[in-house]
Homo-oligomer: A and B are copies of this chain.
Amino acid sequence: MAERSADDRSRQIREWLTNWAAAQHEQDGQSRTPDNQSIWEYLSRPPRGPRPALTHNQIATAAVQLADEAGLDAVTMRALAKRLDVATMGLYRYVRGKDDIYALMLNTAVGEISLPDKHDDDWRAAFRRLAGEMRGMYLRHTWLPQLEAGTFGMIAPNSLAVIEAGLAALDNVGRDLDVDEMMAAAGAIAAYVRGSATSAIARQEAYRRFGWSSDDDMRAASGPPLLRVLARGDYPTLARYIVDGSNEDDDEWQFSFGLECVLGGVAARLGI
Contact = CB atoms under 8 A, between A and B. Distances in A.
Interface in A1-53: 1-2, 4, 6, 9-10, 12-13, 16-17, 19-21, 23-24, 37-38, 40-41
Contacts of A2: 215, 246-250
A13 B219 contact: yes
A241 interface: yes
B237 A153 contact: no
A150 interface: yes
A153 B215 CA distance: 16
A83 interface: no
A265 B261 contact: yes
A254 B184 contact: yes
This chain: how many copies in the complex?
2
Residue in A17, A198, A268 with the greatest tally of chain B CB atoms within 10 Å: A198
A231 to B, nearest CB: 6
B198 A243 contact: no
A90 interface: no
Contact of A231 (B20, B181, B196): B20
A260 B184 CA distance: 11
Contact of A188 (B6, B196, B222, B241): B196
Contacts of A188: 192, 196, 254, 257-258, 261-262
Contacts of A219: 9, 12-13, 16
Given A153-B198, A264-B264, 9 more contacts: A2-B248, A9-B216, A20-B231, A23-B224, A167-B238, A184-B253, A193-B195, A262-B262, A262-B265
